[in-house]
Chain A
């Protein structure tokens, strides 16, 4: 209930006219619904643009993080380096997630400025890929470690290359894990606020969370518009999470990949 009520409240606000929004006692069920705020947000204002930016940035960064992270995870899971360097490397990768993100905001801002990437979607894709990488590496490393080494040995003796064995034997087996990891990455990128706020100021490069927060101004707070955009922002994640729910549970409960 505690989780659902705010969402329901947001939904009703997005559908109420501005007078009903502030009625005391609150109008829970009986009000005349209107789509005016949705029209305002997506037709008059630039929320459509924010939505597209968010979609491009989160899918782009998720795909990049999955490709790079999966290969790194495979290497860390399978190759023994001297002096247990593989373990240390894995821990070091994880440690990059251990400090608060805000401490990197300023240096990253300066780097992006010097690269001329401020106010671009590419900047956010690069950053989110970086944030998601440690997570992907650790998740996928766990999934790879679950799979008996003999399967790859067999595939290679059967005549496959290492990359072929990875693609034809290993990846199909970790597919549920890959799906779970992808969903997590998508959600993290989709919801990310801090760096999107720092790196983007223009309508062209702004993501939804930043766009929504931007409706809190000195003179007014556009509750209706913000709620309408919030509902729309929630939907893709909700749909996607429901679609892969089965894999999500299987992926999170390690061991499900064994035949």
Chain B
């Protein structure tokens, strides 16, 4: 079932937690709401669930406007960060709760619980109480309780953030598989950009209650709409260098730094000289211990070996720049290395508004 937010605003007192949000989510799509804590993503989800009132605007599930419909009649399922399993019930009772409320017959309930337990490989846990389960097992039970009912949509509020790192990656993959198999519209809230990139069909990046960009993970990564999105998505984050475009000299300049620009890039500035922030991801910054033509000298601040690659933090023209190098790259702290920029991959942002300049 498709889901639509139409100019939705939520205010607490005088502060707008969600500000004029419009989103249109397709049937069967997995959309991730991504943003730092306090950006309004959880509130957005809770409004969709009916747990918070909408101050203004409309929310639609399918063709139905749901603003005034209480949660129990919205026919959606939600997975909470702390799982919210009912502590006094066994796993079976937890999973069957939504079915028992809907007064399904005992046989139907047993069959459905059996199927979903098999799907999530929790058959052995059915007789236990939630406190006897590990974090990962609780997570599965919470998922089972959401799935068992075949609702119109799944809402997930940071479902993986209470798990340890390794389990999180494993569950992330399983969630993606599961969503593809079930084909049910899913809205997933997280502050973890890696989860957003890996899971989503489309990512909605939010900040201070405002939608920043709503697009596929690849577009978000390759064409961030503004400096905030560019900074938030990708790890380690994008490098930013403040300077100005000198159209006469066909270059981006700041004190101690001059980078030649392509025609296409210059065209974005219409031959003017403007202040601008250049953004470039670490993988588009090369680093070398030997001097070659076109490379710029920089001082190594620190280098971090990640196993499959090395991130080299260098100081160049007063700015800290992160470059990605091969795993076998070695450089002493404070030694001089040679840095090159793949400027075709550079982004430009307005220094005031932070908006992307050009496409």
B173 proximal to A (CB < 8 A): no
CA distance A172 to B87 in the complex (A): 10
| A152-178 CB contacts (< 8 Å) to partner B | 153-161, 164, 168-169, 172-173
**Set of chain B residues within 8 Å of A172, measured between Cβ atoms:** 88
Q: Mark B11-22, 1 if CB is under 8 A from A, else 0.
A: 000000000000
Instruction: Give 1 or 0 for each of B174-214: 1 = CB within 8 Å of chain A CB.
Output: 00000000000000000000000000000000000000000
A157/B77 in contact, CB under 8 A = yes
Task: Tell me the minimal C-beta distance from A78 to chain B in angstroms.
Answer: 12
Minimum CB–CB distance from A161 to chain B (whole Å) comes to 6
Asked if A148 CB lies within 8 Å of chain B CBs, one says yes
- Please determine whether A153 and B84 come into contact, CB atoms closer than 8 angstroms: yes
For window 145-159 of B, CB contacts with A under 8 Å fall at 145, 149, 155
C-alpha spacing A169/B77, complex, angstroms = 17
* CB-based contact B145/A158 at 8 Å: yes
Are B70 and A158 in contact, with the CB atoms below 8 A? no
Q: Would A153 and B49 be within 8 Å (CB), given that A158-B77, A159-B98, A259-B88 are in contact?
A: yes
B72 touches A259 (CB 8 A): no
Contact B71 A153 (CB under 8 A): yes
Tell me, in angstroms, the Cα distance from A157 to B74 when the chains sit together.
8
A interface residues, tally (CB under 8 Å): 19
Residue in A closest to B145 when the chains form the complex, CB atoms: A158
**Cβ contacts under 8 Å, B80 to chain A:** 150, 153-154
Query: In the complex, are the beta carbons of A159 and B87 less than 8 A apart?
Result: no
For the complex formed, measure the closest distance between the CB of B199 and the CB atoms of chain A, giving whole angstroms. 21
A259 and B130 contact, Cβ closer than 8 Å, known pairs A148-B84, A157-B49: yes
By the criterion CB–CB under 8 Å, are B129 and A153 in contact? no
What CA separation (Å) do A259 and B87 show in the bound complex? 5
Chain B residues, CB < 8 A from A156:
50-51, 70-72
- Cα-based distance from A160 to B130 in the complex (angstroms): 20
8 Å CB contact of A151 from B51, B84, B129: B84
- Closest chain A residue to B132, Cβ basis: A259
Q: Which residues of B contact A (CB under 8 A)?
A: 46, 49-51, 70-72, 74, 76-78, 80, 82, 84-88, 97-98, 101-102, 129-131, 145, 149, 155
Residues in A lying within 8 Å of B, measured CB to CB: 148, 150-151, 153-161, 164, 168-169, 172-173, 258-259
Known: A158-B101, A159-B98. 16 other contacts (CB 8 A): A148-B84, A153-B51, A153-B71, A154-B84, A154-B145, A155-B86, A155-B97, A156-B71, A156-B72, A157-B49, A158-B149, A160-B97, A160-B101, A172-B88, A259-B85, A259-B130
Can you list 7 A-B pairs, Cβ within 8 angstroms, ordered by A?
A153-B49, A157-B49, A157-B50, A158-B101, A159-B102, A259-B85, A259-B88
Q: Which 5 A-B pairs have the closest CB atoms?
A: A259-B87, A150-B84, A154-B84, A158-B98, A159-B101
